[in-house]
Amino acid sequence: MDCTSVSSTIQSKGRAEASSKQIRDSTWEWFTNDFRSRFAANGALLIIMTRWHTDDLVGRLIAQDSTVQVVRYPAIAETADAYRQVGDPLFPELKPLDFLLARRAELTEASWASIYQQSPIVVGGGTFPIEKFQTLPSLDRTKITNSVRNWDSAGTQNGGAYTAGVLMHKLKDGRFLIEHVVRGQWSALDREEHIKFWAKQDRVKCGYAYEIGIEQEPGSGGKESAENTIRNLASYRVYADKVTGSKEVRAEPLCGAGAGRQRVFGRRHLARRLS
């Protein structure tokens, strides 16, 4: 097969640049406008890079194109395969396990995951700083101003990704509270029944200052799925939450809120709905 050959190098100075959304946007614009425009229909693309950020070039390609294949060789095996067991080093002759563990002790969790495991995580947590969250012994519902349960849907029974629904409240003092989380590996039909069941339960507790958010994945399939769920909840206030980017990037506001850096809780879109 004839393939178009286009070579180029993206210069990067590590995490500092990768943490800048402006630089990530600039890299993406260069890739789509200048680099990829030179490809022919039968062109092939190979990217070799350190994954410093979940929203890097590869992260955006994965979110955009389901055919992208990622080949990853963690320095310490995370799953067993034909060549290694969990915990085995990749090149024991050059970097044995004790050497890798010593390097891991020197690095932050995010740096270790990026440099050695090629599995970037959102900086500042692993991923969420659980120790920063407070548990309330009771809930005074007179202090609630608005409520929303947002759903992230999946559709594989007893396997694959989980469907999850989170009930959140905005309090009169400006704080945000998670009251309840439900999750399960349900078929599409069972998922719709669970969503409707919890809508009924929530309305009893929350009254009519309550909305339901349905995640709408990109593409016609995501739109159709969200519309079906909205029709199933015809008597409720429901909105479609059109998502972009990876789940890790969308979780950054929640990570920041948990660490006390900002007072946005959950997705920015959810925070606006509760405001």
The answer to the question of residue 125 being in a domain is: no
Whether 257 is covered by a domain: the verdict is yes
Pairwise CA distance, residues 111 & 25, whole Å: 22
Provide the CB-side half-sphere exposure for 159 (13 A, CA).
0
The one-letter amino acid at 88: D
Q: Is residue 212 included in any domain, yes or no?
A: yes
**For 90-106, what is each residue's pLDDT tens digit?**
999 999 999 999 998 88
Buried residues in 102-125 as b, exposed as e (16+ CB within 10 A): eebeeeeebbbbbbbbbebbbbbb
Q: H or E segment at 145? A: strand 144-152
Say if residue 240 is in the same domain as residue 150: yes
101 and 43 assigned to the same domain: yes
Q: Does some domain include residue 120?
A: no
pLDDT of residue 174: 85
3-state SS, residue 167: strand
Q: What is the DSSP letter of 154?
A: -
How many residues does this entry show for the chain?
A: 275
Same domain, 140 and 247: yes
Task: Decide: residue 171, CB within 10 A, 0-12 exposed, 13-18 middle, 19+ buried.
Answer: middle
Residues 110 and 165 in one domain: no
Does residue 144 sit in the same domain as residue 240?
yes
Q: Cβ(125)–Cβ(54) under 8 Å?
A: no
Task: Quote the distance between the C-alpha of residue 250 and its chain's center.
Answer: 6
Residue 10 included in any domain: no
**What is residue 183's three-state secondary structure?**
strand
Dump pLDDT digits (tens) for 163-220. Answer: 899 999 999 988 888 899 999 988 889 999 999 999 999 999 888 789 999 888 777 7
Shared-domain flag, residues 154 and 65: no
Same domain, 167 and 92: no
Largest distance between two CA atoms of the chain: 69
Both 42 and 101 in one domain: the answer is: yes
Asked which of 115, 138, 165 is the last residue of a domain, the reply is 115
The domain total for the chain is: 2
Q: Would you say residue 1 lies in a domain?
A: no
Is there a domain that residue 82 lies in?
A: yes
CATH number for position 225 = 3.30.420.280
Task: Please report the pLDDT score of residue 237 as a whole number.
Answer: 92
Q: Do residues 140 and 267 share a domain?
A: yes
User: pLDDT (tens digit, 9 = 90+) per residue, 11-62?
Assistant: 456 777 777 888 889 999 999 998 888 888 888 889 998 888 888 899 899 8
Query: Which helix or strand (DSSP H or E) is residue 192 part of?
Result: helix 188-206
Local structure of 28: helix, strand or coil: helix
Shortest CA distance to 242 belongs to which of 230, 256, 257?
Answer: 230
Q: Is residue 120 left, alpha or beta, with left meaning phi > 0 and alpha meaning psi from -120 to 50?
A: beta
Q: Tell me, yes or no, whether 153 and 239 share the same domain.
A: yes
Say yes or no: 210 and 134 in one domain: yes
State pTM to two decimals: 0.49
Q: What pLDDT sits at residue 75?
A: 95
pLDDT of residue 250: 64
pLDDT band at residue 266, thresholds of 50, 70 and 90?
Answer: very low
Return the amino acid letter for 31. Answer: F
Helix axes 220-232, 188-206, angle to 10 degrees: 50
Q: What domain range is 44 assigned to? A: 15-115
CA distance 261 to 56: 23
Kindly report whether the peptide bond that precedes residue 127 is cis, defined as omega within 30 degrees of 0. Answer: yes
Q: Pick the last residue of a domain from 55, 80, 115.
A: 115
Query: Within this chain, do residues 147 and 111 fall inside the same structural domain, yes or no?
Result: no
The answer to the question of residue 238 being in a domain is: yes
